[in-house]
Amino acid sequence: QVTAKTAFLFILPQYNVSVPTAEGELVQYHYGLKDLVTILFYIFIAIILHAVVQEYALDKINRRLHLSKVKHSKFNESGQLVAFHLTSVIWCLYVVVTEGYISNPRSLWENYPHVYLPFQVKFFYLCQLAYWLHALPELYFQKVRKEEIPRQLRCIALYLVHIAGAYVLNLTRLGLILLLLQYLAEFFFHMARLVYFTDENNEKLFNVWAVVFVVTRLFTLTLYILVIGFGLPRVENQALEPERGNFFSFLFNNILFRMSVLLLVCLFQASVMWRFIHFQLRRWREYWNEQSSRKRAAAGAKQQAKPLKRDSGYHENGVVKAENGTSPRTKKLKSP
C-alpha cells in the first residue's frame, strides 16, 4: 500500500480538490512542487517513446534514402517533431473542444484566475513540460552537431518558458489555444521538410505551410489583443492576490501597462513574420536560380546535339561530287 501511494505520486497528477458546482462536486487540480516528480517520470516515458520512433520508423526510412550526415540529422529532428506535433495537435484540439474554450471565447478570461484545472488540462501541461525537458538529454543521445545545438536550445527554452509561464500564472486556457496554433504551423513545416528530403523537387507542402503560418500568426495576434486588451481588464477581481493565483488582472486594468504589453507582443510577432518573409525570399531566390541554371544547361545540350552541316554537292557511291560532277578533292600532280 505504501508502494502504491508512491507510484501514484509519479504517475498521476497531484493536488486534487473537490470544487462544489451546481451539479454537485467536481474534482479539479492545482499545481505544486509535487508536480516535478510527475514530470520527472514522464521525462523517462518521453525518452523511451523517442527511441521507439527513432528505431522502428526513422532509422528504417533513413536506410532507404541514403541521406548525407547533415540531411540525416535534420530528417531525424523533423521526424520526431512531426510525431510529437501531430499527437499534440489532436490532443490539444480534443481538450479545447470538450472544455468549451473554442465555442465560448469569453471563457479564456472569465473567472480569472483559473486556479483549478480539469484533469485533462493539467495532465496535458505536465506532459508538454516533460517532453521539452526530455529534449535536453536527447541532444546528447542523438549526437547533434555542435553548430545545431544553440538553435535547438533556444527553441527548447522558448517552449519551456511559455508553457511553464502559462501553467504557473494561471493562463492555461489562453496557453492551450496558442499551443494549438503554434503546433499546427510547426507540424506542416516539419512535414514539408520530410517530403523535401525524400524528393527534392517536391516543395508544394512548403507553400501549404506558408499559408498556415500566416493564418496562425494572425489568429495569435488577434487572440492576444482580445484577451489582453479587452478580456482581462474587465475581470471583476482586480486586486493583487498571489496566494489566490491572481497575478495580472490589476496590472491590465492600467492602460499604460496594457498598451506596453500589446506593443511587445506586436513587436515579437513582427520579428517572427520578418524571419518568415526572409526565409521565403531566400527560398524563392534559390528556386529561380536553380530554374535558370537548368534552362542554361538544357540550352547548351541542345546546341551540342545539333547535326553538323554537310559539304556542298551531292553524294554518288559514297563519294561527294561537286555541282559540275567533278570531285571536290584536289588532284595530286604526278611527278615528271
Give SS3 for 117. Answer: strand
What was the pLDDT predicted at 128? Answer: 97
What was the pLDDT predicted at 244? Answer: 64
Q: Can you give the pTM of this predicted structure?
A: 0.82
Residue 19 corresponds to which cell in the numbers above? 470544487
Query: Using 50, 70 and 90 to split pLDDT, how confident is the model at 1?
Result: low
**CA–CA separation, 75 vs 196, rounded Å?**
10
What was the pLDDT predicted at 78? Answer: 93
**CA–CA separation, 124 vs 140, rounded Å?**
26
Query: Using 50, 70 and 90 to split pLDDT, how confident is the model at 307?
Result: low
Residue 21, beta-bridge partner list: 24
The pLDDT mean for the chain works out to 83
What was the pLDDT predicted at 247? Answer: 62
User: Which tens digit of pLDDT belongs to each residue from 315-327?
Assistant: 455 454 554 555 5
Q: What backbone phi and psi angles, to 5 degrees, belong to 202? A: -100, 100
Question: With b meaning 16 or more CB within 10 Å and e meaning fewer, what string describes 217-251?
Answer: beebbebbebbbbebbbebeeeeeeeeebbbbbbb
More confident residue, 114 or 251: 114
Query: Using 50, 70 and 90 to split pLDDT, how confident is the model at 262?
Result: confident
Residue 242 above 80 pLDDT?
no
The mean pLDDT of 163-182, rounded to a whole number, is 92
Domain boundaries, the chain: 1-234
The mean pLDDT of 188-212, rounded to a whole number, is 88
Give SS3 for 45. Answer: helix
Give, in order, the Cα–Cα distances in Å from 84 to each of 21, 152, 186, 196: 35, 16, 10, 19
